[in-house]
Amino acid sequence: MMPANNMLFEFLQSILETVRELFRHDPTTRAASVEFWVMASTWLLLVKFAVGSMGPRFMVSSQYVNPGVQILRILSHYSVSYSLGLMQPSTSEQGSATNDLFQVWAVLIVTMQDSVSIGRPYKPQEMSTVDLLTSLWSANQLRAKTAMYLKVPLWIIWSIHASRIIWYYVSSDSAEGASTDNMKLVGDYMASSSSQHADHDACPKTMVGYRYLVLGEDEQVKKIERPSFRFQLDNTRPEELITLDKVWSHHDSGDRLLSKDADGRFKDVCLSFALYKLLRRRFFDFPIPEADHPAMRRLISQIILDDNHERVFRVTEVELSFLQDLSYSKHAVVFAAGFPTQRLMLSLLMTSAASYLAYAVHDLPRETTAVTAGGRLAKITHGVLVTRWIILIMVCREMWEIGVYVLSQWTKVLIVCNYIRQKQRPTGWVPMLQRWMTEKAARIMFWLVWRGQWDEKIQQYNLLIGAQVKTTPNRRLRSRSVKLGSNIKKVIFESLNQALSAASSLAEDGKTNNSSSASLAQKKRNKLLMSHHWKAFAEKRSLQSKISTIYHALKAGDTHKVLVWHVATSLCQIKLLLLLLGEEATGSPGDLYMLNLPSTLLRGLEAHYATVVSLSNYCAYLVTEALVPDNGLVADKVFDAVREGANYDLRGCRTLGEVHNTLVAAAWVPDEQNGPSIIKIGTKLSMELMSTYGAVDKEDLWESLGKFWAGFLLHLSASTIAAKHRIHLQGRGELTTHLWALLSHAGFLGADTDHGQQLLDPVDLNAA
């Protein structure tokens, strides 16, 4: 044990000694050594790339991230500029070995700086003129006297770097245009009656009749119809065009991939990609002609909403990951022309050249001294070690970029579609080998790539608890998260299925081409969804009448209604806890987050209780995020006013009983001159609910509340503008955005049909 401990101690001591040397005072920099500034610049560039690579996946809102990103960008820029300024070699013959190191470091840092700007997958940043001039400056450095064993790999690295810059400028504009053209092509394909994108009797189980585009439409001849100037797809290369019915048509015994796809995961990624191509139009105000087609509602109802409700999220989470890439990354542009082979080959070449350079620098002295252009001496003590660390960081960045694009959902779609194309080719040992290799690649990719999976957690915010917590700028600090339980899924999707059935029973005008009839059908569907949650109290006519009176008195938007119902639900919850727990319910108001009460106490209410509380708190959380149909400024101001009112009413309350008694007593106080508060209206509504159902522990009360909140959440999801949902694609995802995607496909486009990239208010812009 002693020798091992001594070795560990010596290793740690050597690391500390190296770090101490890097931070030593240097007369050139008058601060830390040149090696320190070189390493700091490289690490800052790597961190900058890492933040850009993670992008919006782990960032709930850029409102709290952008300042840090801006600081990181400024630090990396000035650190690189300062380091390059220090490394201008002198014409003196003294310290030529160190001048060689300066040239190596300069080329590597400039290459990495430009690679980060070009290759960063998220928040694309165009290269500036300063970046280009810096790249040319590094080439000029190589003209100085340099050892041949260093000059050759350095010129190779710079040449690859220059090729990448040229390719970036040449390909970016064309790829951006191709991505935009594809969006219009898909929109025109779905709008064209001659395309017959889906039959009226299309079968969602076998996908027969569903000719939704997956891949290959860009390889067909496109004609332009006049005077409408629409794209018309001429299927000149049918073997390259992949549609949903083709994906589901492979059932032969020789198919080792799609026919053996018991859980449908290989096919469903193509379904998600096809639905993504349709849904992205909502961000750009493209028409949604298939909203009036019964085949799409049948697809949503019979295939996506299966019995266990697991497939629905598997499809929507991948679909939304494509939308997230469209909005916040360069994946859509990079994959516009297919797999980015050229980009990845350049990264591999750069990795190979840098790896050879790591070997080539071994002949450089460990310690040396150089004279900089300023005439000062610069002492280098760990030149080779620092160089190899820079190369290691650079190689890690290149491999990271390769992994970001290769290990993506986009690659999975390309592999499955390529497999389908290979199945259509003539038989032979070469095609069989290609199919076998593609099948293995598909299985490996589906095992490795997990990006896009939703954790199925929903945030919780309770107004009566939050009102007693000290105000902070970030309301998320006061929210919690819970797992989306199976009963919650069941209630939500039962409500959605009922809405789909009701929409199908309407006099749909989708069989005609009359735009006014289609608009009328759309209004009917919107009205149906707006009133759908009322059906939860269909058997309680008197209660419905009183709710109508409350809504009429509010004369306001959905934010007010959410808060009224949230207060009413919370008071019903408090009353139930007081009834069931008795003296044990004298705890803090934080008990309102409790979902797992003993089943012996709830007496069959546990499933309904957890559903109601979770959905009520989730809808209140949506108000705190302004992810509701109302204008963000309105939602924010209303929430702040209601919260301040609750804080005033509940001052001094320490137990659930005190909260309940205080609010009930305040409900009987005469209204102020400007009318009753949201808290008072919610309190009276809770009393109406308990009075109508006879007691707070009645199962039908909690079952009705669960159906109400499920229907209300569907209405909120469909009516919230697409631009807001686009903002909240950042992070791990929201349940309401998943529901918005399903409702959009089913034809529920919200009351405002111009739902695309509308002008956002300041609250939404701050979260963008």
Both tokens of 509, joined, read 């005008």
Q: Please compute Rg for the chain using Cα positions.
A: 31
Q: Which of 190, 441, 446 is nearest to 295 (CA)?
A: 190
Out of 1-10, 26-35, 103-112, 169-178, which region has the weakest mean confidence (pLDDT)? 1-10
Q: Does residue 443 sit within a domain?
A: no
Same domain membership, residue 96 and residue 235: no
Out of 60-64, 77-81, 237-241, which region has the weakest mean confidence (pLDDT)? 60-64
Tell me what pLDDT residue 62 has.
54
Q: Does residue 1 sit within a domain?
A: no
Q: What is the pLDDT of residues 21-63, one digit of tens each?
A: 555 555 555 556 777 888 888 888 888 888 777 766 655 555 5
Given a cut of 80, whether residue 2 has pLDDT beyond it is no
Given a cut of 70, whether residue 14 has pLDDT beyond it is no
Percent of residues in the chain assigned helix, strand, coil, to nearest 5: 65, 5, 30
Q: How many CB atoms lie within 10 A of CB 282?
A: 23
Q: What is the pLDDT of residues 127-163, one digit of tens each?
A: 555 566 666 666 666 666 667 788 888 888 888 888 8
272 or 229: which leads in pLDDT: 272
Tell me what pLDDT residue 683 has.
93
Given a cut of 50, whether residue 384 has pLDDT beyond it is yes
Q: Which of 635, 618, 639 is nearest to 626 (CA)?
A: 635
Same domain membership, residue 504 and residue 476: yes
For residue 459, the SS3 value is: strand
Asked if residue 642 lies in contact with residue 463, where contact means CB atoms within 8 angstroms, the answer is yes
What is the average per-residue pLDDT within 546-559? 81
Same domain membership, residue 217 and residue 145: no
Out of 376-380, 460-464, 742-746, which region has the weakest mean confidence (pLDDT)? 376-380
Same domain membership, residue 107 and residue 65: yes
Asked if residue 643 lies in contact with residue 463, where contact means CB atoms within 8 angstroms, the answer is yes
Task: Give the count of domains, the chain.
Answer: 3
Asked if residue 235 lies in contact with residue 330, where contact means CB atoms within 8 angstroms, the answer is no
- Percent of the chain at pLDDT above 70? 77
Given a cut of 60, whether residue 759 has pLDDT beyond it is no
pLDDT category at 66 given cuts 50, 70, 90 is low
Q: In the chain, what is the greatest distance between 2 CA atoms, to the nearest angstrom?
A: 98
Given a cut of 90, whether residue 85 has pLDDT beyond it is no
pTM flag (> 0.85): yes
Crossing angle (nearest 10°) for helices 699-719 and 558-581: 160
130 or 357: which leads in pLDDT: 357
Q: How many CB atoms lie within 10 A of CB 692?
A: 16
Q: Does residue 411 sit within a domain?
A: no
336 or 493: which leads in pLDDT: 493
Same domain membership, residue 214 and residue 164: no
Task: Render 559-624 in DSSP notation, one character per residue.
Answer: HHHHHHHHHHHHHHHHHHHHHHHGGGG-S-GGGGG-----HHHHTT-HHHHHHHHHHHHHHHHHHH
pLDDT category at 1 given cuts 50, 70, 90 is very low
Q: Does residue 440 sit within a domain?
A: no
| Phi, psi dihedrals of residue 580, rounded to the nearest 5° | -85, -40
Same domain membership, residue 632 and residue 529: yes
Q: How far apart are CA 36 and CA 29, in angstroms?
A: 10
| Residue written as token pair 């959440």 | 713
Both tokens of 705, joined, read 């509340």
Tell me what pLDDT residue 753 has.
44
Same domain membership, residue 588 and residue 468: yes
pLDDT category at 556 given cuts 50, 70, 90 is confident
Both tokens of 302, joined, read 């019979």
Q: Does residue 296 sit within a domain?
A: yes
Q: How far apart are CA 199 and CA 178, in angstroms?
A: 29
Tell me what pLDDT residue 327 has.
86
Q: Which of 588, 583, 582, 609 is nearest to 597 (CA)?
A: 609
| Phi, psi dihedrals of residue 720, rounded to the nearest 5° | -75, 135
Measure CA of the first residue to CA of the last residue in the chain; give whole Å: 56
For the four alpha carbons of 710, 712, 713 and 715, in that order, the dihedral sign comes to positive
Q: Does residue 164 sit within a domain?
A: yes
Both tokens of 208, joined, read 């027969």
Q: Does residue 753 sit within a domain?
A: no
Same domain membership, residue 195 and residue 157: no
Same domain membership, residue 344 and residue 327: no
Q: What is the pLDDT of residues 446-485, one digit of tens each?
A: 998 877 778 889 999 999 887 766 554 444 445 688 899 8
Q: What is the pLDDT of residues 715-726, one digit of tens each?
A: 999 999 999 999
**Cis peptide, bond prior to residue 227, ω within 30 of zero:** yes
Both tokens of 58, joined, read 């782990």
Q: Which of 137, 15, 20 is nearest to 87 (CA)?
A: 137
Tell me what pLDDT residue 129 has.
58
Given a cut of 50, whether residue 123 has pLDDT beyond it is no
Given a cut of 70, whether residue 588 has pLDDT beyond it is no
Given a cut of 80, whether residue 378 has pLDDT beyond it is no
Strand partners, 768: none
Asked if residue 121 lies in contact with residue 405, where contact means CB atoms within 8 angstroms, the answer is yes
Tell me what pLDDT residue 91 has.
42
Q: Which of 400, 435, 450 lies at the terminal end of a domain, its last residue?
A: 400
Q: How many CB atoms lie within 10 A of CB 717?
A: 29
Same domain membership, residue 552 and residue 468: yes
Given a cut of 80, whether residue 571 has pLDDT beyond it is yes
What is the average per-residue pLDDT within 673-693? 89
Q: How far apart are CA 466 and CA 525, in angstroms?
A: 36
Same domain membership, residue 471 and residue 515: yes
Tell me what pLDDT residue 101 has.
79
Q: How far apart are CA 581 and CA 40, in angstroms?
A: 60
Tell me what pLDDT residue 754 has.
46
Tell me what pLDDT residue 372 has.
57
Asked if residue 474 lies in contact with residue 466, where contact means CB atoms within 8 angstroms, the answer is no
529-552 burial, b at 16+ Cβ within 10 Å, e below that, comes to bbebbebbbeebeebbebbeebee
Q: Does residue 358 sit within a domain?
A: yes
For residue 227, the SS3 value is: coil
Range of the domain at 196: 175-334
Same domain membership, residue 481 and residue 394: no
Q: How far apart are CA 627 and CA 663, in angstroms?
A: 28
